[in-house]
Amino acid sequence: MSGEARTPGSPQRGGGTGPDRPGGDRRDAQGRERGAARARGAGQRSESAPSQRAKVTDPARNVAFDVLQEVASSDAYANLVLPPLLRVRGIRGRDAAFATELAYGTLRLRGRYDAIVSRCVDRPLDQVDPNVLDLLRLGAHQLLGMRVAQHAAVSETVGLARARAGAGSAQFVNAVLRKISRSTLEEWLEVISADAPDDVTRLAITQSHPVWIARAMREALVGTGRSADDLAELLEADNTAPRVTLVARPGLVSRERLAGEVTHDVRGDATTAPGRWAPTALVLSGSDPAAIPAVRHGAAGVQDEGSQLVTLAFAAVPTLPRVPELPTAGAGTGGTAGDLPDGAANPDERWLDLCAGPGGKAALLASLAGEQGARIVANEVAPHRARLVEQALAAVPADAVERVQVGDGRRVGVEEPGAYDRVLVDAPCTGLGALRRRPESRWRRTPGDIATLTTLQRELLGSALDAVRPGGVVGYVTCSPHLAETQLVVKDVLAGRDDVEVLDAAAAVRQVAGDDIPLADRTDVQLWPHVHGTDAMHLTLLRRRA
């Protein structure tokens, strides 16, 4: 209503009724105006209190809120929680896309939104009810990170708050979101970064990363031959939703046939495009991968192109011949790879994925092994993840899989010394290279995790080098660019051994991806989201000396 003063009986804006208009006077004996229905005696006020009335909320926003709740309460991953929720609740199409962006975007940009919300409330954020804080984050993302009309972002979030947190919380959410809506994103970014002591901290705040991760990323950029100036672009890439990339597993389905399945067998506006680097990669848009027959049957899967690329490069490096037992020193030839005795055999038939769960790399390796007449052993320490590996290998020919076993990878080198021609160590890590795909990881990890993980990584790599035969190849892979998890782990392990040589991983990657792929002038390889469009995968290739 306008703020103009009116006298009783004066004409109302919008064609209100007066004494001589149809409908008669809407004012009661106390001079209060009544609605048209109540003036006719047809209106009836609800007997329920506002907090007890029927609460109808948007299903997509409800799902996004439930994802945030599940991620917070059970340390679940959003990419595992959201898809089944959408299916169970029958949310598809645009609503599913909205729920996905709302949930993932809120998780990615939580740090940015918390900095903004903290300037709109009268208490520290740790004194705000966690459920209400999640609601504020959802509302802030709609206002500042999505193309949602301001009134809809506020009113729908307030309605969700009323339904899920109560009327009092809804009033609080309404007041805070209205404060947030008074400024643009650009204005808010200036506000929240004004007091940052340095550029790295400023980028961490505005690009929603913990400061320690931003600093580690900067060190990793410099340490792998890139400029520190890349940091802003890298952090921004971490906040960009990744493309869905399929892997066409060799010998099971070709990339062309997989693209044809999408075109012919999937309804809607689904499209595909070849990956940039891996010959097995197919970028998918506009479809649920589970709707594609080859994915359902295991001939294809969902796998980041960087993950595909390092796996293919590892499998492409030739092993050296197996050297028969050599004469004792001074009695004959030496045991170098360049001076092999007659009859040296070069088997490449027994491969090991030391940390195989959940099975993406294992399935790609197994399909490659099947084409080459080799077989794979997939080892996984966690039984439930071993079952996922078995599912991932379901379409692979049986003679390409020796077994899936549950065991501690740190023991394999002792239990089966020199038993394998190739060993892949896809080591457990912080996952800092996949923050765009698992946005909640940035808020869970702490600097203290590094020491625990790097100890495990060193032990696993040492075990792999013991498990591979002389002349065989070990691939050390992490989905983290953190220097402590990559270069320093390798350096520490090699410092205690004289039977290992470092291979040119960059040459192996170029053999797969082509010479155009931008790589630093190093023997190891570090991929980057902002450069390669992949997760930040690291690859070091090693050979046990013959």
Please give the span between the terminal C-alpha atoms of the chain, in angstroms, as a whole number.
Answer: 87
Amino acid sitting at position 486? T
List the alpha helices (DSSP H) in 182-332: 185-193, 199-206, 211-223, 231-238, 255-265, 293-297, 305-316
Amino acid sitting at position 313? A
CA distance 263 to 500: 48
Q: For 13-50, give the DSSP string.
A: TTT---TTSTT---B-TTS-B--HHHHTT-----SS-G
The reply, when asked if residue 288 is annotated as ligand binding, is no
Where does residue 443 fall: left (phi above 0), alpha (psi -120 to 50 degrees), or beta otherwise?
A: alpha
Residue 3 token pair? 């703020």
DSSP assigned state of 352: E
The reply, when asked if residue 335 is annotated as ligand binding, is no
The reply, when asked if residue 378 is annotated as ligand binding, is no
Strands 500-502 and 538-544: antiparallel
The reply, when asked if residue 356 is annotated as ligand binding, is yes
The reply, when asked if residue 359 is annotated as ligand binding, is yes
The reply, when asked if residue 421 is annotated as ligand binding, is no
CA distance 306 to 281: 9
Count other C-beta atoms under 10 Å from residue 399's C-beta.
Answer: 11
The reply, when asked if residue 380 is annotated as ligand binding, is yes
Does residue 479 carry a catalytic annotation?
Answer: yes
> What residues contact 38, with CB distance under 8 A and at least 6 apart?
none
- Sheet arrangement for strand 281-285: 271-274, 281-285, 244-248, 300-302
The reply, when asked if residue 358 is annotated as ligand binding, is yes
C-alpha angle 391/396/399, rounded to 5°?
120
CA distance 452 to 387: 26
**Residues 143, 424, 479, 483: which is the catalytic one?**
479
The reply, when asked if residue 499 is annotated as ligand binding, is no
The reply, when asked if residue 344 is annotated as ligand binding, is no
Residues comprising the binding site for S-adenosyl-L-methionine?
Answer: 355-361, 380, 408, 426
Q: Cite the active site residues.
A: 479
Residues comprising the binding site?
Answer: 355-361, 380, 408, 426
